[in-house]
Amino acid sequence: MQHISIIKREARHVLSKKPHNLVNLGLIPTIVLVILFILLFRLSTQIVLQLNLTQIDKQFYADVQSFLTNNPQISLYYLEGFLAYGMFAVSVSFAALDQLRETTKQMGIAQSLQVFSGVYFFKVLVLWLVIYLIYYLGNLILLPIGLYFYYGFKLTYFILKDLTQGSARISWRNALKTLGYSWTMMRGHKWQLFVLDLSFIGWDLLNFMTLGLFNLYVAPYRAASYAVFYQNLLDQQIGARLS
């Protein structure tokens, strides 16, 4: 498997061949993220105004916990926002994989929305919810356990895209099997993908400080890096089977 720096360099190379594709792929995720940031800050302001901030002590944290417990809709808002952005991120990853395999292909905004077609939408939605539930339950035990499962299923969407083969529909049974296929592919590679995510921390901080505006570049860059990681791992495992 290639080093993280090589994966990211290849991702930048793919995106640089069609610079206008960068904007087309990053525009919608950026708009969505900016909206989510605005909603997050409004929600945070609401919480702060309803709490007593005169003392930052154990009572303060107890008040925060009590507020969240008495307002369960906040957790629902978080899940809805996470899901909304997650669906767009998967869609951009699909487009990035297409770009990787066809470097001269023109990518319009429509390509960054392909998950929302009837071919993919409900299957990606259900898979996302299943993965999130497993991750959440793992976190209840211990954070590393949640992350272990999360990264084990990280390639599920790419595998679904390859199995779907364009406009062909696959059964729900085969769609759910992608979870197992991803788990098998990721054996021995979870740590590397985790490190790949860690390498984007600097970009994520810039995103936070600019209320998501840097996502115009970061979203396609991250998606292309995932696509390169998946394609390299796929080629490696196919090669191993043929040898």
User: Residues 123, 175: contact at Cβ < 8 Å?
Assistant: yes
Can you give the residue range of the structural domain that contains 124? 4-242
Give 76's contacts (C-beta < 8 A, 6+ positions apart): none
Number of domains in the chain: 1
The pTM assigned to this predicted structure is 0.88
pLDDT in tens, the chain (243 residues): 678 999 999 999 999 888 888 888 999 999 999 998 888 888 777 766 666 555 555 555 566 566 666 666 767 777 888 899 999 999 999 999 999 998 777 888 888 899 998 889 999 999 999 999 999 999 999 999 999 999 999 999 999 999 987 556 788 999 999 999 999 999 999 999 999 999 999 999 999 899 889 999 999 999 999 999 999 999 998 877 766
Give, as one character, the DSSP assignment of residue 113: G
